[in-house]
Structure 1
Amino acid sequence: MQVPPFWRNVATVVTGAVGAQALPLLAAPLLTRLCSPGELGAYSVWLGIVAISAIGATLRMEAAMILDHEPERQRACFRVVFYSATVTAVAVTVLAAGACLVGFGPACSLPWSSLLTIGIATWLTACMQTTLAYATSHNAFGKAARAKVTTAATIVGTQLALLYAGLGGAGLVAGHVIGSAVGFATARMLLHPPAAPIGWLPDAEQRAHLMRHHKFWRYSLPSNLLNGAVSQLPLFLIGMRHGVLAAGLYALTQRVLSAPISLIASSILEVFKRESVREFEEHGNCTRTYIKTFKALMVLGAGPALVLLLFAPHLFAWVFGESWRASGELAQLMAPLFLLNFIASPLSYVFFVAGRQKADLLWQVTLFCLTLGAFLAPGSIEQNVLWYVIGYSCLYLVYLHMSWQCSRNVMAAA
């Protein structure tokens, strides 16, 4: 019996993603024994800043890469992203250094080695995301998978070596930057994307591309910045209210829970992008692809969520060491949210397909306000996390309904 193209492509992406995500997971028990919760917390804060900055650096133009198949337009997309990423990298480096020099508390808590590498890490992340989007637009899932595995292997290997050498938190940051650079170079060699020279100012080609896809930077960019901020905001607020030790415990919880989403859900997303765009162009909706993807995500996510709900504290203590049991207790509280996130994240691309980015932005604003309220409310870290899970889960149910309406193409246009 012949396997449908959708599942063949999913299998290809998952195969590469397994290597890319399994390596950090396998290395996590070693990392937690070579670094303290405080060092992991500081590295996670740095990584969160890089992740948010990279979203702004792309202007969300990498999402438009899937819609534009012409070589000239894809070249213009690379030129826009390379320009915006360069400007953003310089700006965040200057801002980070300046914040430390004027005595801004959160910036002063990070070493200079971290502050001065935020820009280059942002540039590498933004350019890598765009190159992988180019691979998706050409169905080059195998080559993209190899680039991801190379990135993960280099990051993990370098971090472990530098931690063993006694560099501590600085080794985590340096290993990430080195691995990202090697991964980006590998992706460029494997995929051969178009050259993208830039100048001091955007030229007519770049400005035309920005206007053609104005909904991405007008609506998707602020929406994704809010989403990125929301994903990192708990870590920042926990560190401010409960201390660096609590931030490190939450960072490990977040890292473990995000792994299946990065491993499987994001792999399905890469295929869902192509399938949903094709079906929408042919039929004016993508309900068939949406339903098929929803069922697959539900089946794949239910098992891990149940395991977390029942056994997370014991598993964390056994795998990472007894000092990390509290991370497992937080993971147990977050198990329902993990399942909803696992399902909703890939399906959110339907907002782009249907051109409903404004609706997505309004939902992200609501989520941002809810997150602030949950973690600024008085109480222990466990109580804050519980309120966060309840509110976020309710919003995710609304989000899934909205995405289903988008797949049917019945929501009012943005």
Structure 2
Amino acid sequence: MIRIGTSRFSRAALLMMVGTALSQIIALGSAPLLTRLYEPAVFGVFATVVALAGILAIPATLRYELAILLPERDEDARTIALGAIAIAFWVTVGVMAVMMGAWYLVPAFGTMSSLGLWLFAIPPLAFCVAVQSTAVYVANREHRYGRIVCGNLVQQAIAALLGVGFGLGAMKVGGLYLSRLAGYISASATLGVVALVRSFFVEGFDRTAFRDLAARYRQFPVFNVAYSLLGVLSRDFPVLALTAFGLVSSAGHFALARIAATFPANFLTASISQVFYREAAEKIDTPPFQDMIWNLMRALAFGLVPFFLLAALWSSPLFPKMLGENWRETGHMFALLASPMTLALLTGWPERIFEIRAKQYWSLAVQFVFDSMVVVSVTALLFYGYDIDIVLTVFAAILSGYQLTYLALVFVLTGLGLRKYCTLLAMLAAVVAGMLLGHFGAGMVLTPIHTFLASLVLAGSFSAIGLRFGLRVL
């Protein structure tokens, strides 16, 4: 066991975890205000714009920002960062030009989308997303985790404050969009993008060196662009599909339910993934590093999964009280997404193991198979008029299969092996069975409030076991 606070991983992870917790508290704290200022349909349009911007941001950089950590020379890392930003700029400008040409030359283009003029908001937001992502990897290379934390806090604070302010001014979709755009710009400035861009004009940009580096790290545009696109498409496809079929309010409910359901996984990914990537690149095959991963997996299975299940079991009555009566459907959708999002607690933060092992084609193959199933099934079910509950249940089942397959590959690539993978699944099954039996058993003899308290105590008991494994990580 490593002493608490003595390892670089534990110190950096703790800093990222505290910072991420604070930024998520800001986001969650503003949600009850935003849901009372904006209708579900407004959230649906905004979520669609954000989803399309996120999709565009991936090919915009060709995922070269992921290679920033790999060169030995800082000069090469700077060249890759500037190259990624330059590519993103010209890609988003080109997309904007094509969209404007289509808008004026093809009359049907504007009527094919329920977004209307909001289509033109997508490229600027995509560029801001790409720039911030690049800046995060630069800060990670320099071990400036405090700067990453500050960037996240600034982004959430600006977005929350402006979102509430614009909502009070009845700006609707424009308020949500401008607040998100301002958040990304402020975060990028905090992360040091201004200094990076200034160096472009002061020190110049070696295009020949970038071409050589682009060829050296060509696996990122070849594999990671496709893999990341498939991942984002799978995550956001229900929002896009619901909007395309005219179910904009349902898209808004789903978008908010997904934000709430992915909060724990996103929290872990933001807290650990950057540090994990850096440490894995140096220590991937060492027994202490493998022990750390195994202890962390067990800590999450016992420590966080019970509380996530508790939230899913009580989401239907709690969401209307927290967000307003208009958002009752959101709580129901949250419960439907509980299974895959529980598994996501274990798969998000170690995803860069595929880059470390140069096995991106493994993750791409898995992503392609399951995402194809998502696109085909969701589209077909909506086309034939099936109830949204059925659509989301099928979506959640496919996503759960993906998470289980992905987790198995993580165990193989980290050297933990399939035996420990099966052991972890048995632990998860025990936790789920214990929580469900406790919840429904208590519900038969106790009042709702006492049932909730009993379930909370049970989750805390499981969490104590997780704490034991968590201390071994530290």
Q: What TM-score do the two structures reach when normalised by structure 2?
A: 0.80
Q: Partner residue of 1:359? A: 362
Judge conservation of contact 1:132–1:144 (CA < 8 Å) in 2: yes
For 1:240 and 1:345, locate their aligned partners in 2 and report how far apart those are by CA, in whole Å.
28
Judge conservation of contact 1:17–1:148 (CA < 8 Å) in 2: yes
Q: CA deviation at 1:158?
A: 1.0
Q: Does 1:36 align with 2:39?
A: yes
Q: Partner residue of 2:324? A: 321
Change beyond 3 A, Cα 1:190–1:89: closer
Judge conservation of contact 1:147–1:186 (CA < 8 Å) in 2: yes
Counterpart among 297, 300, 323 of residue 297 in structure 1: 300
SS of aligned partner of 1:167 = coil
For 2:391 and 2:354, locate their aligned partners in 1 and report how far apart those are by CA, in whole Å.
30
Counterpart among 122, 126, 138 of residue 122 in structure 1: 126
Change beyond 3 A, Cα 1:353–1:7: same
For 1:374 and 1:4, locate their aligned partners in 2 and report how far apart those are by CA, in whole Å.
49
Instruction: Give runs of aligned pairs for residues 11-410 of structure 1, distance below 5 A.
Output: 11-101=14-104, 102=106, 103-104=108-109, 108-112=113-117, 114-188=118-192, 195-196=199-200, 203-241=207-245, 243-280=247-284, 283=286, 287-378=290-381, 379-408=386-415
SS of aligned partner of 1:325 = helix
Judge conservation of contact 2:316–2:328 (CA < 8 Å) in 1: yes
Q: CA deviation at 1:227?
A: 0.7
For 1:106 and 1:369, locate their aligned partners in 2 and report how far apart those are by CA, in whole Å.
27
Q: Partner residue of 2:5? A: 3
Count of aligned positions = 409
Deviations 1:209-251 (A, max 9, x none): 1111111111111111111111111111122336111111111
Residue 116 of structure 1 aligns with an amino acid whose one-letter code is: F
SS of aligned partner of 1:347 = coil
Residue 324 of structure 1 aligns with an amino acid whose one-letter code is: W
SS of aligned partner of 1:166 = coil
Q: CA deviation at 1:284?
A: 10
Change beyond 3 A, Cα 1:194–1:272: farther
Judge conservation of contact 1:370–1:391 (CA < 8 Å) in 2: yes
99-108 or 247-256, which moves further after superposition?
A: 99-108
Deviations 1:305-351 (A, max 9, x none): 21233101112111111221111111111111111112111122110
Unaligned runs of 5+ in 2: 419-474
For 1:391 and 1:54, locate their aligned partners in 2 and report how far apart those are by CA, in whole Å.
25
Q: CA deviation at 1:192?
A: 6.3
Judge conservation of contact 2:343–2:400 (CA < 8 Å) in 1: yes
For 1:64 and 1:216, locate their aligned partners in 2 and report how far apart those are by CA, in whole Å.
8
Judge conservation of contact 1:377–1:384 (CA < 8 Å) in 2: no
Q: CA deviation at 1:159?
A: 1.4
Judge conservation of contact 1:285–1:409 (CA < 8 Å) in 2: no
SS of aligned partner of 2:24 = helix
333-342 or 264-273, which moves further after superposition?
A: 264-273
Greater Cα radius of gyration, structure 1 or 2: 2
For 2:98 and 2:164, locate their aligned partners in 1 and report how far apart those are by CA, in whole Å.
30
For 2:10 and 2:286, locate their aligned partners in 1 and report how far apart those are by CA, in whole Å.
21
Judge conservation of contact 2:223–2:360 (CA < 8 Å) in 1: yes
SS of aligned partner of 1:10 = helix
Judge conservation of contact 1:285–1:407 (CA < 8 Å) in 2: no
For 1:213 and 1:409, locate their aligned partners in 2 and report how far apart those are by CA, in whole Å.
28
Residue 53 of structure 1 aligns with an amino acid whose one-letter code is: L
Q: Could you tell me the percent identity over the aligned residues?
A: 22
Unaligned runs of 5+ in 1: none
For 2:351 and 2:358, locate their aligned partners in 1 and report how far apart those are by CA, in whole Å.
12
Deviations 1:167-209 (A, max 9, x none): 11111111111221122112117986882459xx982111111
Judge conservation of contact 1:286–1:407 (CA < 8 Å) in 2: no
Judge conservation of contact 1:41–1:245 (CA < 8 Å) in 2: yes
Change beyond 3 A, Cα 1:99–1:31: farther
TM-align CA RMSD = 2.7
Judge conservation of contact 2:227–2:367 (CA < 8 Å) in 1: yes
Q: CA deviation at 1:261?
A: 2.2
Judge conservation of contact 1:279–1:289 (CA < 8 Å) in 2: no
Judge conservation of contact 2:159–2:179 (CA < 8 Å) in 1: yes
Residue 84 of structure 2 aligns with an amino acid whose one-letter code is: V
Q: CA deviation at 1:59?
A: 1.4
SS of aligned partner of 1:3 = coil
Judge conservation of contact 1:54–1:122 (CA < 8 Å) in 2: yes
For 1:26 and 1:99, locate their aligned partners in 2 and report how far apart those are by CA, in whole Å.
41
Change beyond 3 A, Cα 1:314–1:196: farther
